[in-house]
Amino acid sequence: MDEVQIRLRVNGLERRGRVEPRLTLADFLREHCHLTGTHLGCEHGVCGACTVLLDGAAVRACLVLAVQAEGREVTTIEGLGTPENLSPVQVAFQENHGLQCGFCTPGFVVSVTALLRDNPDPTDEEIRAGLSGNICRCTGYQGIFKAVRAAAGNTP
Amino acid sequence: MTTPGGPSTALHRPGTVGEAVAALAAEARAGRPVELLAGGTDLVPALRTGTRPPAAIVALRRVLELRVRGAGADTLTIGAGVTYTELAGWSLSPGLAATSRVVGSVQIRNCGTVGGALGSANPRGDLLTFLTAAQAEVLLTSEDGSRAAGLDDFLSAGRLPGELVTAVRVPRPSGPQTYLKIGGRQAAFPSLVSCALLVDRVRERVCCAVGGVAARPWRVAEAERLAAADVDWSTGTAPAALARRFGELAAAGVRAASPLGEDPRHPLEYRVHAAGVLAARAFARCLTARSAPRRESAP
Ligand SMILES: Cc1cc2nc3c(=O)[nH]c(=O)nc-3n(C[C@H](O)[C@H](O)[C@H](O)COP(=O)(O)OP(=O)(O)OC[C@H]3O[C@@H](n4cnc5c(N)ncnc54)[C@H](O)[C@@H]3O)c2cc1C
Ligand code: FES
Ligand code: FES
């Protein structure tokens, strides 16, 4: 096997692993780090469920190979908040019916966190464009949209 | 675990263009199929489905010289590793910025690169339509040296084995530029029909290419000739009727080209028509006289 040693930071903690070069970052997070909050839906870059931050930029963990994250900082949903201490975006999703089954939610929360960091006061159109890379089969998006509006109001 | 199947893959992580082409050449000499990896937005799905089972991958992320953008007196040079997100905010090229802003979603734009777009050479790729209109040159390097190829030649002949795209070069803008596309949900599907239009007020001409109709992005020469002759170049404006005529000629031009494979849900005739509409609209955006800056919403 041509396994490769990698080292990266995930949610602030150093992680090492020996991986096959074709292992995706999503599988590394789920299988090696047991961080199963990063969901896998389509596995070809369309649904957004696997969105994580790589050096702060929102990316598809299903399109990034684990070896490409070598030496970099990855933030997953587990790094944004805990059940006892939800992030402002998570609180806004909870309060505005931004989720039903929750499958898409980690991807939305990660994407929205990056969106509001880069643009704390988005227009309605900017929110819609910012959400366009994530698919939700349950909510019909209105609750998600309201949650982003509310979170934008709450972001200091 | 969903690691793409097949035998294991060797990984090269070069730090320079020289090391990258040396790795490509070594794999080629060993007779092993090799793929370059940039943002992975095209390659990683292909690895998973097994449509491309390379024995080796050359990952380009550490090759910092590919991530450079530069401006010369007459040209802009964009490194192969530059992402759509980086181009989307680039004030030196409004056309490249407009094109990059409508690629995929932010998560795709943060990864997808210029080199990957050229490597995939998807005939519906947004960047290829713009670069065709912009008469871009592709800069390539192999172990044997470097060369520049016109984009048309690059798209028809392809890359030679062992070659790496290092950059593309376009003329500096000298007038308004725009990029328009139609298609399904942008974040999920490539565009169906696209149109790039660049006004060159110095050479008094318009360059326009249409994507998604012909087998590759297609310059609409007749329409361009009409524009060169009939635009009022002292003001850089044209009457609305000229935009309509420009669209008709653009549609006729692309209809005559060898077509992209048939697509039952979007017949050729529909795409030809859409190309004409987009070309007329792009022309009007860049050249129709208007007294005040146009707003999308009515006053
Ligand atoms: C959900 C989704 C939506 C998308 N939407 C759009 C869209 O709206 N418009 C659009 O145009 N595209 C779209 N794409 C396609 C994609 O993002 C682009 O084609 C992208 O530019 C590919 O770049 P990359 O860096 O990810 O390439 P990679 O996937 O890393 O590589 C692609 C190919 O190029 C080769 N390659 C990479 N770098 C080089 C180099 N320097 N020299 C030579 N060959 C090289 C690789 O070997 C590989 O064959 C979408 C993709 C996805 C998954
Ligand atoms: S699982 Fe990655 S985008 Fe759908
Ligand atoms: S809440 Fe079920 S998919 Fe979005």
Which residue from B13, B16, B43 has its CB within 8 A of the most atoms of ligand 1, so it is best to mutate? Answer: B43
The answer to whether residue B247 scores a pLDDT higher than 70 is yes
Selected for mutation to probe chain A from B35, B106, B296 (highest A CB count within 10 Å) is B106
The answer to whether residue B252 scores a pLDDT higher than 90 is yes
The answer to whether residue B262 scores a pLDDT higher than 90 is no
β A73-75/A4-10 pair status = parallel
Q: Whose CA is nearest to atom 3 of ligand 2?
A: A45
Taking only the tens place, the pLDDT of each residue in B157-204 is 999 989 999 999 999 999 999 999 999 888 888 899 999 999 999 999
- At residue B299, the pLDDT reads 34
Cross-chain residue pair B13–A40, CB shorter than 8 Å: no
What lines the ligand 3 site, CB under 6 Å? Answer: A 99-105, 136-139
Query: Fold identical between A4-77 and A88-154?
Result: no
- At residue A1, the pLDDT reads 57
- At residue B294, the pLDDT reads 46
- At residue B108, the pLDDT reads 97
- Residue pair B87/B100 in contact (Cβ under 8 Å)? The answer is yes
Which one, of B39, B12, B15, B38, lies nearest residue B25 by Cα?
B12
Residue ranges in chain A whose pLDDT is less than 70? 1, 154-156
Which position has the token pair 């404006």?
B237
Mean per-residue pLDDT of chain A = 96
Instruction: Specify the CATH class of A88-154 in words.
Output: mainly alpha
Calculate helix-pair angle for A142-154, A88-95, nearest 10 degrees: 140
Q: Domains in chain B, please, with CATH?
A: 10-62 (3.30.43.10), 65-171 (3.30.465.10), 177-287 (3.30.390.50)
Residues B121-144: b if buried by 16+ CB within 10 A, e if exposed:
eebbbbbbbbbbbbbbbbbbbbee
Q: In the structure, what pLDDT confidence band is assigned to residue B298 with cuts at 50, 70 and 90? A: very low
Give me the residue spans of the domains in chain A. 4-77, 88-154
| Mean local confidence (pLDDT), B271-277 | 98
| Mean local confidence (pLDDT), B268-292 | 90
For the CA of B109, the nearest atom of ligand 1: 17
| Mean local confidence (pLDDT), B249-276 | 94
- At residue B85, the pLDDT reads 98
Please tell me the CATH superfamily of domain A4-77, with its number: Beta-grasp domain (3.10.20.30)
Predicted ipTM?
0.95
- At residue B51, the pLDDT reads 77
Taking only the tens place, the pLDDT of each residue in B180-190 is 999 988 888 88
pTM: 0.95
